[in-house]
Amino acid sequence: MSTDNQSTTDADADPGSDPETEFDAAELQALRERVDELEESIADAETGDDQKKMTIVATQGSFDMAYPPLILGSTAAAFGWDVVVFHTFWGLDILHEEKSKNLKLSAVGNPNMPVPNAVAAIPGMDRMATRMMEKKIDENGTATIEELIELSLDQGVDLQACQMTIELMEYDEDDFYDGVTTGVGAATALQHMAESDIQLLV
């Protein structure tokens, strides 16, 4: 430090000796402000690194496809992550208070079903397959879709309902669970995806 003082004195005495070290008051002030700015942005970046972000896009509204985004979303929230689940097309039904309680498992075209497609196509088979699955879920101690939605919202998961598909499906904003974010579109989803560590399409 003492040499710094010395060199300043020298520069004052002889301005021509080292023009590189000469700053006028305005330049010094600008530099100080720039340093403050950079320190702030570094602090912000460090804070930002602490919290992981995840964006899930939920496009499916069948009983089985409602589970993965809800389970991953609520678990990520337990990790303290910032989570957005963007629901679009049939994914909207997961957030629809009435429809979410009647989501169906499709028996047709599902190779894991114990019956051939010709049998699965018989009216009422979807309902039967769904009932069987619901029974298994209850026996296994797996949470219901409604429980997982409430849990996710309680934990601060941002469940978003795509505005374009709300209108396309002729749903009303009041049809959704309290706490669901409406009035958002693809740009909002993309913005969060760009900032996310994890992005999933379900």
Partner 1 sequence: MSSEYDTTKTLDVKGQSCPMPIVKTKQAIDDLDAGDVLEVVATDSGSMSDIQGWADGTDGVELLDQVEDGDLYTHYVKKTE
- x/- letters, 81..120, toward partner 1 (CB under 8 A): ----------------------------------------
Give the span between the Cα atoms of 119 and 86, in whole angstroms. 35
Instruction: Please check whether residue 180 is in contact with residue 160, taking contact to mean a CB–CB distance below 8 angstroms.
Output: yes
**47 interacts with partner 1 by CB under 8 A:** no
Q: Angle of helix 63-78 relative to helix 125-140, nearest 10 degrees?
A: 30
Closer Cβ to partner 1, 72 or 193, answer by number: 72
- Contact between 182 and partner 1 per CB under 8 A: no
Query: Which residues, in sequence order, are CB contacts of 60 under 8 Å at separation 6+?
Result: 66, 89, 90, 91, 202
Rg over CA atoms, the chain: 28
Q: If binding is defined by CB under 8 A, does position 28 make contact with partner 1? A: no
Nearer residue to partner 1 within complex by CB, 33 or 154:
154
Binding segment for partner 1 among 77-85, 88-96, 121-129, 188-196 (CB under 8 A)?
77-85
Residue 156 makes contact with partner 1 by CB under 8 A: no
